[in-house]
């Protein structure tokens, strides 16, 4: 609780700083305009893809044929002219199709924001399937299962279950390379 209050106070002071900065620049004319993914254009039949994790962009304004994401309601293939959608993502594989090439990444979770000619995939973490070490995944799954067995409360069980879900999906993704 104390941590949550500290974070809230820090957030509030940050908002005051932003408000003060905004007020001091109020008399200046706006120079830049915010750009959305839809503002950029993709060639006919192509989808504009932005695929990001918190510390970097994996794909930025990439023109692709299709992207397949692991939505909580099942795999979802996204092509150009897709109906606008927001999808929660679960642990699994994001497949980016460009011509005959398919790049595959394992993600732990995230969201996909789909517009008719663009898609933003925002993941908590992502790693190329080719970089997954099956032995590390096996050890991680064993540790998560041991944590589940030793869990003494709901929080510990929930954390262990998340580990089991992620390592199981990662094991399956690595096996399907």
Instruction: Measure the N-to-C terminal CA separation of the chain; round to a whole number of Å.
Output: 43
User: By three-state DSSP, how is residue 43 classified?
Assistant: coil
pLDDT value of position 6: 41
- Span 48-96, pLDDT tens digits: 999 999 999 999 999 999 999 999 999 999 999 999 999 999 999 999 9
Mean pLDDT of the chain: 82
With 0.75 as the threshold, say if the pTM is over it: no
* pLDDT band, very low/low/confident/very high, at 124 (cuts 50, 70, 90): very high
Higher local confidence (pLDDT), 7 or 147 = 147
Segment 93-102 shows an average pLDDT of: 96
- Listed in sequence order, the residues at least 6 apart from 121 whose beta carbon sits closer than 8 Å to its beta carbon are 49, 50, 51, 52, 67, 69, 89, 94, 107, 110, 111, 112
What counts of helices (H) and strands (E) characterise the chain?
Answer: 3, 10
**Is the pLDDT reported for residue 120 higher than 70?**
yes
87 HSE (CA, 13 A, CB side): 23
CA dist., res. 62 & res. 42, Å (int): 9
Cα 12–Cα 37–Cα 65 angle in degrees, nearest 5: 135
pLDDT digits (tens, 9 = 90+) for 38-52: 445 667 789 999 999
**Which region among 1-5, 38-42, 148-152 has the lowest average model confidence (pLDDT)?**
1-5
Is residue 9 very low, low, confident or very high in pLDDT (cuts 50, 70, 90)?
A: very low
Per DSSP, 39 falls in state G
Q: Residue 139's pLDDT is what?
A: 95
Looking at per-residue pLDDT, the higher value among 33 and 123 belongs to 123
Residue 104 has pLDDT above 90, yes or no: yes
């Amino acid at each position: 609780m104390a941590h949550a209050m500290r974070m809230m106070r820090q957030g509030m002071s940050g908002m005051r700083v932003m408000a003060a900065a905004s007020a001091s620049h109020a008399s200046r004319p706006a120079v830049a305009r915010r750009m959305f993914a839809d503002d950029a254009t993709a060639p006919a039949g192509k989808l504009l893809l932005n695929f990001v994790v918190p510390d970097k962009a994996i794909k930025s304004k990439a023109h692709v044929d299709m992207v397949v994401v692991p939505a909580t309601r099942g795999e979802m293939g996204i092509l150009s002219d897709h109906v606008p959608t927001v999808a929660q993502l679960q642990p699994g594989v994001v497949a980016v199709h460009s011509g005959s090439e398919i790049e595959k990444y394992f993600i732990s979770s995230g969201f996909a924001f789909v517009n008719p000619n663009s898609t933003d995939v925002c993941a908590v973490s992502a790693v190329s399937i080719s970089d997954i070490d099956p032995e590390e995944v096996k050890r991680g799954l064993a540790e998560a299962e041991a944590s589940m067995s030793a869990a003494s409360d709901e929080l510990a069980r929930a954390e262990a279950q998340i580990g089991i879900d992620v390592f199981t999906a990662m094991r399956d993704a690595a096996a399907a390379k």
